[in-house]
Amino acid sequence: MEILSTIFTVSLVAATLRTTTPILLVALGGSFTTKAGIFNIGLEGQMLVAAFFAVLGSLWSGSAWVGLLCGIGAAVTMAMIFSLLVVTLRATEGGRGRPPNSRPGGRTIALTTASFGVRGSIGNPGIVGLPRLQVPFIHGTRPWGQMLSGYTPLIYAAIVLVFVVWAIQYRTRLGLYIRVTGEKPEAAESLGIRTTRMQHIASVLCGVFAGLAGSHLSLGYITMFAENMSAGRGFMAVAVLIFSNGDPFKVFFGCLLFGFADAVALRLQTVGMSSYLVLMVPYLVSLLALFALSWRQRDKVYRTMRRTLTASPRGT
């Protein structure tokens, strides 16, 4: 009985790691654009396109790594189109008093999600998946080996990248510039930082990560491409980013939460419980996060208004 319960938790940890990785990778990418002040709605599309082209690359070349590069290339291309539309156009949209992002964001979302919701699937024995790493010493041992060994490299990479992203954002000049661009664009411009260039760079970096995430989906998670296989993870990542404000460590914990929910849903499915309601949980959590944030922002506006309203009589 006790052994059963430990296996349950061990495999649940393994499943959590596996389901967390794609959303973590894409959210880490999004953390760059969030820091640069872009509301990145193109994540899902970039991930899906990467998954598609990773499979194609793997099929054509017979190498998973070439597939990975193809996936990244495709996602970066999409990211560049995205930033061209959003960053370059926002300059005019903002000037005319429109809510930023409304029109170009709409175009972009159509561009990425709807059109590249590539239909059908590619399942082919010729697709080469990413190899599974066997961690020396602990591979094959009962609790630890099962929990920490035998994954594709991207799972380990994702966790390392959390720290790398943090280091880029908080320990390099580029990261500082990106953050300043997002927080105080006027200050950045007065210091001679070209904010549009920073936003383009953030966007491309984001594309690289979305490419990793998509390739992981189609070459690591399973070795095939299926219609809409990213299943809204890009939008869940948007919700995580809203909550975490793009801080890499908060992003990590947020994604773990979603990964855990996913893993539990999968587990309940195998137990025989109806999975539909459980599978809804990540989407509902994302929705709640989105609504809660807008609610909170409203609160902030009200609070500042109240403060300004009550401050003057007290002052006089």
- For binding to other proteins (CB under 8 A), which residues are involved? 39, 41, 44, 81, 84-85, 88-89, 91-92, 95-99, 102-103, 105-111, 113-120, 231-232, 235, 238-239, 274, 276-277, 279-280, 283-284, 286-287, 290-291, 293-295, 297-298
Per DSSP (E only), the strands in 196-303 are none
Provide the minimum distance between the beta carbon of 29 and other proteins in the complex, in angstroms, as a whole number.
17
CB of 275 to other proteins, least distance (A): 9
Give the shortest CB-247-to-other proteins separation in angstroms: 20
Structure-token pair, residue 238: 């948007």
Nearer to other proteins, 93 or 139 (CB): 93
Write the burial class of residue 189 (CB in 10 Å: 0-12 exposed, 13-18 middle, 19+ buried): middle
3-state secondary structure of 122: strand
Determine the Cα angle at 263 with ends 257 and 267, to 5°.
145
Could you tell me which residues come within 8 angstroms of residue 111 by beta carbon, excluding any fewer than 6 positions away? 42, 45, 81, 82, 85
111 or 174: CB nearest other proteins: 111
Tokens of 295: 């609610």
Closest CA to 206 of 155, 230, 170, 241: 241
**Which residue number, 86 or 201, has a Cβ lying nearer to other proteins?**
86
Shortest Å distance, C-beta 302 to other proteins: 11
In order of 53, 112, 178, 311, the CA distances from 116 in angstroms are 11, 6, 29, 53
Closest separation in Å from C-beta 37 to other proteins: 15
- Compute the least distance from the CB of residue 189 to other proteins, in Å: 9
Two tokens, residue 217? 């989906």
Minimum CB separation of residue 73 from other proteins in Å reads: 16
For residue 247, which phi and psi values (nearest 5 degrees)? -75, 125
Q: Which is nearer to other proteins, 19 or 152 (CB)?
A: 19
CB contact at 8 A, 75 and 208:
yes
Nearer to other proteins, 256 or 290 (CB): 290
Please identify, using beta-carbon distances, which residue of 15 and 238 lies nearer to other proteins: 238
Task: State how far Cα 96 lies from the chain centre.
Answer: 31
CA angle 13-235-59, nearest 5°? 75
- Of residues 52 and 151, the one with the C-beta less far from other proteins: 52
